[in-house]
């Protein structure tokens, strides 16, 4: 009798025990991406459980010498997008962020995508699980449409852009309100791992800065960069200051 595995799982759902001696050949299951191994005290059994929402993939591992046992890996998630790899921002990564709060000295942001990679559903970035976010695009609505699926639900990677990290020149004259506004989508680089709660980010490069913004504090139309510090709304003609990413 073969073991029937669930086709799709949710976080915390048991998938299978580690060993299935009832099959014609003893099978040992290993926990792959999107799963973890736990010990179930109630039945004294090691069980593989899901850590994300997704389809269950079963892969028989090659190169086994034991004729009485086969080794099988259990994965959960879309292996065609992101290859099931847990993605974490690291120093030097280019990230796409949304500004959530401003002060005189810094802008607080949430990271919604990075490095042109798909972010897993349990990757720590809220609800934008399978959204592919292009971080090399210009200051257009297309960039926003790809990142709009991120929301404030769940846990997110947080970051800080300090005033001295906004631009490479005249750092002591930076006015944060003239560089970013809440709701702006910005492209930044991870400067360091920060203080344990927030990544430190920088936009002090020509290709980094605001890539999407709306006029009138988000209530107006889409704006497009005309130079590195000015954005214009074509429909209304509204002009606002931003620290813009190079639009092409």
* Cα–Cα dist 92/4, whole Å: 44
Q: Is the pLDDT of residue 94 over 50?
A: yes
Instruction: Give the model's pLDDT for residue 199.
Output: 92
State the residue range of the domain holding 69. Answer: 8-77
3-state secondary structure at position 144:
helix
Average pLDDT, the chain: 78
**Tell me, what CATH number does 24's domain have?**
2.40.50.880
Determine, yes or no, domain membership for 148. Answer: no
* Contact indicator for 17, 27 with CB cutoff of 8 Å: no
Q: Is the pLDDT of residue 129 over 80?
A: no
Same domain as 105, residue 64: no
Show the beta-strand stretches assigned E in the chain.
8-9, 14-17, 19-20, 26-31, 35-40, 45-50, 54-60, 69-76, 94-102, 106-114, 157-162, 185-192, 199-202, 209-214, 222-227, 230-232, 239-241
pTM of the model: 0.56
- DSSP-derived letter for residue 246 is P
Determine, yes or no, domain membership for 2. Answer: no
Same domain as 196, residue 122: yes
Same domain as 167, residue 108: yes
* Contact indicator for 160, 222 with CB cutoff of 8 Å: no
Instruction: Give the model's pLDDT for residue 163.
Output: 92
* Cα–Cα dist 203/117, whole Å: 20
- Both tokens assigned to 156: 């997110």
**Exposed (0-12), middle (13-18) or buried (19+): which is 132, by Cβ within 10 Å?**
middle
- Both tokens assigned to 109: 């942001």
Per-residue pLDDT reduced to its tens digit, 230-248: 999 998 888 999 999 987 6
CA end-to-end span of the chain: 60
Q: How far is CA 49 from CA 9, 32, 75, 96, 239, in A?
A: 9, 10, 10, 32, 53
Q: What pLDDT band is residue 188 in, cutting at 50, 70 and 90?
A: very high
Instruction: Give the model's pLDDT for residue 165.
Output: 93
Count of structural domains within the chain: 2
The tokens 């290709």 sit on which residue? 207
**Tell me, what CATH number does 225's domain have?**
2.40.50.140
* Cα–Cα dist 174/233, whole Å: 23
């Amino acid at each position: 009798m073969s073991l029937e595995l669930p086709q799709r799982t949710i976080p915390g759902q048991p998938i299978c025990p580690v060993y299935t001696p009832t099959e014609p050949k003893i099978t040992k299951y290993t926990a792959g991406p999107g799963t973890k191994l736990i010990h179930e005290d109630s039945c004294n059994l090691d069980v593989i459980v899901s850590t994300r929402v997704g389809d269950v993939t079963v892969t028989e591992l090659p190169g086994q010498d034991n004729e009485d046992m086969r080794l099988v890996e259990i994965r959960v998630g879309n292996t065609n997008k992101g290859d099931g790899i847990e993605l974490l921002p690291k120093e030097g990564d280019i990230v796409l962020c949304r500004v959530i709060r401003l002060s005189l000295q810094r802008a607080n942001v949430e990271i919604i995508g990075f490095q042109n990679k798909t972010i897993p559903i349990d990757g720590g970035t809220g609800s934008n699980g399978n959204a592919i976010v292009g971080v090399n695009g210009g200051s257009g609505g297309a960039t926003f449409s790809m990142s709009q699926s991120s929301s404030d639900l769940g846990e997110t990677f947080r970051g800080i852009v300090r005033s001295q990290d906004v631009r490479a020149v005249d750092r002591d004259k930076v006015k944060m309100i003239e560089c970013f506004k809440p709701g702006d989508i910005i492209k930044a680089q991870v400067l360091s791992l920060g203080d344990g709660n927030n990544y430190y980010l920088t936009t002090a490069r020509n290709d980094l800065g605001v890539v999407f913004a709306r006029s009138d504090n988000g209530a107006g139309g889409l704006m497009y960069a005309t130079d590195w510090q000015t954005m214009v709304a074509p429909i209304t003609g509204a002009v606002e200051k931003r620290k813009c990413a190079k639009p092409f």
